[in-house]
A and B are shown apart, each in its own frame.
Chain A
Amino acid sequence: MEKLKDALDFRDFSRAEQVGFTIFSIFLLLFPWLGAGSFVKAVMIQFLLFSLFGMGWNTVGGYGGQVELGKAQYVGIGAYTVALTMVWWKIPFWVSMPMGILLAVGYSFMIGYPLFRLKGHYFAIATIATSLVLQDIFANWKLVGAAKGIELPIHDHPDFLYMQFKSDTYYYYFIMVLFYVAIFYMNWFRRSKLGYQLRMIKDDEDAAESLGIDTRWCKIKAYSIASAFVAVGGGFMAVYNLYIDPVSVMDLDLSIKIALMAMLGGAGSLWGPTIGAAFLVPLDRFLGSWLGGHGGLIGLDFMIYAMLIMVVSAYQPRGIWGIIEQFRRKGS
């Protein structure tokens, strides 16, 4: 109960942030009734999904300062668990998604334990390596469809158990609920003991260690929380897209996008990942579809992306949220 109260407590934010968040929430709630086209709806779903991913990344990457570039492997675990159990044994989504979370968390403990012996660059590269290994395995493993991927069976009529709906609106509300669960959880997390410990580790790991914080164990815990978040998103991707393959749910590009959105928005702040996703997902989508219409311009969207990353990391490593705070401090 206490925890729940903490999670819903936004009082320590500034007035502007509270008002902004309220307006944003009203907008999210009413969005399906604003008469947006199916393309815009799909973009919104993507936006919420990537906010969810980004918030997961933010635990270990933002608050803990451990640059993690292998999140896609957990998207993959979540998505494959849901898809495979549905194809093989007709297990409903509501059972298979928790299974996916459990698997992802278990796996994250397994590789997190050796991984967190490493720091900085070594850690970042090692997370890429583990993700690539898993992708290679799935891309060659015939039992799970290898590189062809898996198609989920489509039901004739909408089925809540299997999360199959005719209209995107249902998917939209479902991911919106997940998004809010994530926001509330993160709001609690940032003031939890683990949250403070992680920030301490980010600032000065030796000092944290000397205060008796088991830094490795803290990082592993945060890493498994991040993995759980991402696996939920992965499970959603499977039922929403009805088709998954190693490239769409496990590729390095996906890991990069997840880390990038959190970083661009502002790593280590509650709103950061959402702001980052609000910038990058529409940019990605609209640019992608616009350039798709002008065939032959493939890659231009990613070039703009890449330039953004370079400029942000060179001038304001704390991201868009850092820029906003900078202005606010000047103003007051």
Chain B
Amino acid sequence: MALIDALLQGILMGLLFALVALGLNIIFGVMNIVNFAHGEFLMIGMYTTYWTSLLLDIDPLFTLPVAALVGVLLGIASYYSLIRYLLRGPAIAQLFGTFGLMLFLRYLAQFLFGIDYRIIQKGLLIGKSLSIGPFIFDWTKLAAGILSLFAFAFVYYFLNKTKTGKALQATSINKEAASYMGIKTDKMNAIAWAIGGGTVGIAGGLLANFYYIYPTIGILFVMIAFACVALGGFGSIKGVFFAGLLVGILEMVFPVFGSLVNSDFLGPHFKFTIVYLAYFIIVVFRPQGLFGWKN
């Protein structure tokens, strides 16, 4: 029973993880850059929701558009102020550049908001739960899972059905060929960063409803996102969705097994360790991931 419960909870978390990893994967697919600052984008989305709901006294759930907007602007600003210049340099500079961005945003948040752990206390869904049979779901997590699914579906639709989305995919398959067809690479890159920032902003807004908000949360989620991307395949949208679910389930189910055995090494505090380990094992033994095509 505990196992099924963990499975269901894991799926809800997994939907959110998939949304977080989606933006990372789009950016990677389009321009072959790993955005280390992705987790920090999430953190800023969380703080956006926290402060708008607190200061304007609106429900955290309705601050999602603000979080998305902040995310989009952050993505575009990062692209035009930094990433564009990094593209000219070697790969090592690109890595360090986004790393610098990550540190900058993290410590900016620490500077502005302090190192306290914050939590949103007031809200429509907070503290309420839904019980179906023996299973109890927090409404906040339920909403996060379902809305993540919607956001993911929306981006999926955008990528596959609109002209801009198809242009983005074309750029990610072959940059040169796409630019000969009149697709401006620079613009596509900026759009990729906008989508990346926007989706992770929403994810942050949803996460803020039930998770602690603190400046250094980014690294945890960026590692989870890396694991999802590696598992699903770098550049694969469908893959990252299933990978997100898988990582979510893994992270929830593992502690259940752990609680059966009394040991230092199996327990809830290792639930993210297992995710890092999964990343390591996946990239080493199957670098293209489960659905990947880009190597």
Contacts and interface: CB of A to CB of B under 8 A. Distances in A.
B210 interface: no
A332 B288 CA distance: 49
A313 B86 contact: yes
B94 A313 contact: yes
A169 interface: no
B111 A141 contact: no
Interface string A298-322: 1110110111111011110100000
Contacts of A307: 100, 104
Contact of A314 (B86, B103, B269): B86
Given A121-B95, A122-B283, A133-B273, A306 B101 contact: yes
Contacts of B277: 129, 133
Interface in B70-114: 82, 85-86, 89-97, 99-104, 106-111, 114
Contacts of A67: 91-92, 95-96
A252 B269 CA distance: 18
A260 interface: yes
Interface in A254-312: 256, 259-260, 263, 267, 296-300, 302-303, 305-310, 312
Given A137-B273, A263-B92, A313-B100, A121 B34 contact: yes
Contact of A302 (B103, B226, B272): B103
B180 to A, nearest CB: 26
Contacts of A150: none
B291 to A, nearest CB: 16
Given A128-B223, A129-B279, A314-B85, A306 B104 contact: yes
B3 interface: no
Given A121-B34, A129-B276, A136 B103 contact: no
Nearest to A129: B276
Nearest to B269: A140
Interface stretch (A44-52, A111-119, A225-233): A111-119
A124 B92 CA distance: 10
Given A120-B91, A303-B107, A317-B89, A310 B97 contact: yes
Contacts of B85: 314-315
A208 interface: no
B289 to A, nearest CB: 11
B57 interface: no
B34 A125 contact: yes
**Secondary structure of the A contact surface, majority rule:** helix
Nearest to A127: B280
A310 B280 contact: no
Nearest to A252: B219
Contacts of A86: none
A237 B5 CA distance: 46
Interface in A73-132: 114-115, 117-118, 120-122, 124-126, 128-130, 132
B111 A300 contact: yes
A207 B101 CA distance: 34
A139 to B, nearest CB: 8
Counting chain B CB atoms within 10 Å of each CB, which of A120, A299, A315 scores highest? A299
A65 interface: yes
Contacts of B42: none
Interface in B129-187: none
A307 to B, nearest CB: 6
A298 B223 contact: no
A142 interface: yes
B49 to A, nearest CB: 21
Contacts of A120: 91
Interface of B: 34, 82, 85-86, 89-97, 99-104, 106-111, 114-115, 215, 219, 223, 226, 230, 264-265, 267, 269-270, 272-273, 276-277, 279-280, 283-284, 287
24 contacts: A117-B287, A118-B283, A118-B284, A122-B230, A125-B223, A125-B230, A126-B279, A129-B226, A132-B223, A133-B273, A140-B265, A140-B267, A141-B265, A142-B264, A299-B109, A299-B111, A300-B111, A309-B96, A309-B100, A309-B103, A313-B89, A314-B85, A314-B93, A317-B96
